[in-house]
């Protein structure tokens, strides 16, 4: 699909599985999302684990370095351009954020926890 059906992208589907006997872990499903750049898939078990992690840890999806710009509002750090829009932001793990040397011009920068991703 990525190579011969670009007009169909992005494309996605869901799948499910079950079992005749009621046993923990025997039911589930997931999704597949196909874009020009990637094929992403996840199972309901992994999605549930991630949702529980988000409840326990607001930084489960990483952190971004943000600063306020007088003309552009909030700007977020990326390694290529410095501060830019959120879609280009570098997402840091908690350990990376703790050891990152802040750029000199960012005395007013703050670490913000990323929200849960909005997907299909």
> Is 60 exceeded by the pLDDT of residue 120?
no
Q: Is 114 exposed, middle or buried (0-12, 13-18, 19+ CB in 10 A)?
A: middle
Q: Which pTM does this prediction carry?
A: 0.52
Residue range 98-112, pLDDT digits in tens: 899 887 665 688 899
Q: 75 and 85 in contact (C-beta within 8 Å)?
A: yes
Residue range 61-105, pLDDT digits in tens: 789 999 888 887 889 999 998 888 888 999 998 889 989 988 766
Per-residue pLDDT, 94: 85
């Amino acid at each position: 699909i990525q190579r011969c059906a670009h007009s169909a992208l992005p494309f996605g589907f869901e799948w499910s599985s079950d079992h005749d006997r009621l046993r923990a872990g025997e039911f589930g499903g997931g999704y597949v999302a196909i874009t020009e750049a990637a094929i992403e898939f996840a199972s309901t078990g992994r999605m549930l684990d991630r949702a529980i992690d988000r409840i326990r840890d607001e930084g489960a999806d990483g952190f971004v370095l943000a600063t306020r710009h007088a003309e552009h509002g909030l700007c977020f750090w990326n390694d290529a351009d410095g501060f830019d829009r959120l879609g280009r932001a570098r997402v840091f793990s908690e350990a990376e954020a703790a050891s990152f040397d802040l750029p000199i011009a960012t005395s007013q920068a703050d670490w913000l926890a990323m929200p849960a991703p909005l997907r299909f």
